[in-house]
Structure 1
Amino acid sequence: MDAKEKQKMIDEYSHFNPTPMSIKQFVEFGRSLTVSGKELCARSSFEFLRRELLVRLANIMKEIHLLPESLLSQSSTKIVQHWYEQSFFEVLNYEHADPHDPEIIKKFTADLTTIRNRHAGVVETMAQGVVELKNSAEGLVDSATRSSIQYFLDRFYMMRISIRMLINQHTILFGGEKPFSAQHVGTIDPECDLQAVVDDAYVNARSLCETYYTRAPELQIHCINTVDKERNSSAKIVYVPSHLYHITFELFKNSMRALCERTEEMATLAPIQVVIVKSAEDVAIKMSDLGGGIPQKYMPRLFEYMFSTAPAPVGNEGMNVVPMAGYGYGLPLSRLYARYFHGDLQVYSMHGYGTDAIIYLKTLSESASELLPVFNKSVLRQYKTSRTHGWSSNQSKFQVEWG
């Protein structure tokens, strides 16, 4: 297939909108294995994914081509482009494959694992492309270019989250990978204990904080369940624990750094306070610290990529640990994870006092549907204007616009 034919196939699949899935749909399909049988469900998953993955890959690949030439020309951006093109055509090989052949489905599942592993470093590699742009001769990036890059990265990383979700569900259900526990349906925990996930994120963030600062603040956590009165001390929902862990781990790192750097002279640190409230429709997780807050002038840029209130991380030769802060991707990526299933992440701050971060999640799994970027004419206009169209969801208020 020559370059012209390849582009024709990408164009063809980009004309379709992605099909948003809800957490309820993911769980019901996973549980149907015991009724319909694994072979029949594997065939159904294969037939859905071989088209849906092509649609999602093609939609975001079309947007990559709309990036400013100054970013497209960076070596790291070209690497990411190549990864997506390679993965698209690997899936395309199954376009007309026989879904009744178990060996084909087995090979498809193995190829999905290869694709997921290939894309494991996409976030860091694309971030490096932005760094290369900033460090290049054209490093003085104008506001229009910054706006286009911000808009693209939100959509690009959200699509990456969704593609990984689809692949992980398939490879765990039908491949050799094991779920985290027996009750998990793929990556989804039907009884996700929110406090347990928050506690886990805190313990790991605390360990990292103690490595850098030799101390860490304590955690005070309170759970309120207004739905299940007899289980008032715990709150469980159907959710992807790894997504909530990612969000809370990043927030804990931010709070711990702020507390440690603000109170270097103090013998004790003020605790981080977390309140979890489960209501009939929503879950709210509020994380509060007394780390001094964020100046108001920085608040509009808080969710911009490559913006950080922390100094850029320096090399940690000999330290096999991740940096506490400095890359600027923690908050924007965390917000995408929250929004992926129609939740949200909001940050409020009082400079000189402290910061509150509130995570919102859907209580009902049927309401927690994917929020996906769609490539269309309004997206073409977005790269030239400040409007933010082009998201797909089975919840109507997000059909036209979300920004």
Structure 2
Amino acid sequence: MAARKASEPLSKAIVEEVWKWGGMKPTGVTLRCMMDFGSIPTEKSLLLSAQFLHKELAIRIARRAIELENLPYGLSQKPAVLKVRDWYLDSFRDVRSFPKIKDKNDEFAFTQMIKIIRVRHKNVVPTMALGIQQLKKDLNPEKEPEEIHQFLDRFYMSRIGIRMLIGQHVALHDPHPQPGCVGQIHCQMSPMQVALNASEDARTICMREYGSAPDVKIFGDPNFSFPYVPSHLHLMVFELVKNSLRAVQERFMDSDKHVPDVRIIVADGIEDVTIKISDEGGGIARSGLRKIFTYLYSTAKNPLDEQSYPGGETDLVTMAGFGYGIPISRLYARYFGGDLQIISMEGYGTDAYLHLSRLGDSQEALP
């Protein structure tokens, strides 16, 4: 389907269709349900999955399209937000114009179509960030309106869910799945190993930015594993370690003192797996602590503007300044029933507690 220009008015029919589907209630699924359903992908199970997504994606995409059309403070009219809205409307029409899925040929064609949707939406996060920057110029820089914050929480949480459902369905078609994996879910994921990989990635970026990087030490049971989505955990740990490395590096850059390690502790409880990331990077003032979960705030220089538009897919690309890493990491944690808490001692350092539900029976947190 040809993409529609932002300046083109919406047809009455598409508006009515979007409102009809946006009024329906989405159906949340659990991690365990995804694992059980996809453990042995058969023609029948893939058909059922596609039929579920055919309806579910229309509902979820329509709900976001409606919200994008009705944002306060003139945000809906910002050029970047209009672009995102059009992506959602194009995807809604693609899903709704797809015929009923009756056999494996239909299912295969549907899978190819939702792959296109996933690619279309890959730059939603930086594009929305650009829209927020366009809005920020009109607002009091010290205050993020609560309605904007709540909208972004809902919007990004919904995006996590849509990408998880599409990604899981697509991954079930992989002819050579990774051992121990059901789609994107690793049934015996080692949080120690994921934390190690994420830390190495964060250190690489720190080395690139500053020429050196503090060491990261990881403590915990290397044999412990639990079912989770490794890409989600990698993203969260990467972001938190990246922030810690930056804080320590900047505090000790011109110092003769020994540069302290960033420490990661992985604890396996009965209900939760908790990962604590501790640094001695000087901490965050109490007045700044409440701002770190907002989307208009960053302690670093902002890398996003119309001239330096990020081209690749990544929720968290640069070392700092996006202002999105912490709030989006908390959404990823909450998506399957976990949470993220930040506790700081100004003048010393910061502890981030990442709680993940170990049982896999938490339903998606749907907006």
Q: Structure 1-normalised TM-score? A: 0.82
267 and 351 in structure 1: CA distance in 2 versus 1, 3 angstrom threshold: closer
Within a 5 Å distance, the mapping from 1:257-296 to structure 2 comes to: 257-264=246-253, 265-266=255-256, 268-296=258-286
In structure 2, distance between residues paired with 1:165 and 1:277: 26
Q: Is the 8 A contact 2:239 2:329 kept in 1?
A: yes
Shift of 1:112: 0.4
Q: Which residue of 1 aligns with 2:12?
A: 4
Query: Does 2:74 correspond to 1:80?
Result: no
Q: Is the 8 A contact 2:64 2:88 kept in 1?
A: no
Q: Which residue of 1 aligns with 2:168?
A: 169
Shift of 1:140: 4.2
Shift of 1:235: 2.2
Shift of 1:222: 1.2
In structure 2, distance between residues paired with 1:17 and 1:316: 38
Q: Structure 2-normalised TM-score? A: 0.90
Alpha-carbon displacement from aligned partner over 1:321-371 (angstroms, at most 9, x marks no partner): 9431111001011001000001000000000000000000011112x3200
Alpha-carbon displacement from aligned partner over 1:87-135 (angstroms, at most 9, x marks no partner): 01100123x52x3332221111000000000000000001101111223
Q: Which residue of 2 aligns with 1:238?
A: 227
Q: Which residue, out of 13, 32, 54, partners 2:21?
A: 13
Structure 2 segments unaligned to the other structure (5+ residues): 1-9
Q: Aligned to 1:11, what secondary structure does the other structure show?
A: helix
Within a 5 Å distance, the mapping from 1:200-239 to structure 2 comes to: 200-223=197-220, 232-239=221-228
Alpha-carbon displacement from aligned partner over 1:151-177 (angstroms, at most 9, x marks no partner): 111100000000000001111113x57
Structure 1 segments unaligned to the other structure (5+ residues): 224-231, 374-403
Q: Which residue of 1 aligns with 2:5?
A: none
Across the aligned residues of Structure 1 and Structure 2, the Cα RMSD in angstroms comes to 2.2
Q: Which residue, out of 333, 345, 348, partners 1:350?
A: 345
In structure 2, distance between residues paired with 1:100 and 1:85: 25
Q: Aligned to 1:262, what secondary structure does the other structure show?
A: helix
142 and 250 in structure 1: CA distance in 2 versus 1, 3 angstrom threshold: closer
Structure 1, 275-284 or 114-123: larger mean CA deviation: 275-284
Q: Which residue of 2 aligns with 1:130?
A: 132
Q: Aligned to 1:301, what secondary structure does the other structure show?
A: coil
In structure 2, distance between residues paired with 1:294 and 1:200: 26
Q: Is the 8 A contact 2:335 2:364 kept in 1?
A: yes
Q: Which residue, out of 40, 45, 60, partners 2:64?
A: 60
Moved over 6 A (4+): 314-317
In structure 2, distance between residues paired with 1:123 and 1:28: 31
Q: Which residue of 2 aligns with 1:307?
A: 297
In structure 2, distance between residues paired with 1:316 and 1:132: 14
Q: Aligned to 1:220, what secondary structure does the other structure show?
A: strand
Q: Which residue of 2 aligns with 1:25?
A: 33
Q: Is the 8 A contact 2:69 2:85 kept in 1?
A: no
Q: Which residue, out of 344, 354, 361, partners 1:359?
A: 354
Q: Which residue, out of 58, 71, 93, partners 1:89?
A: 93
Query: Does 2:360 correspond to 1:372?
Result: no
Q: Which residue, out of 41, 44, 48, partners 2:45?
A: 41
Q: Is the 8 A contact 1:172 1:178 kept in 2?
A: no
In structure 2, distance between residues paired with 1:234 and 1:307: 39
- Percent identity reads 39
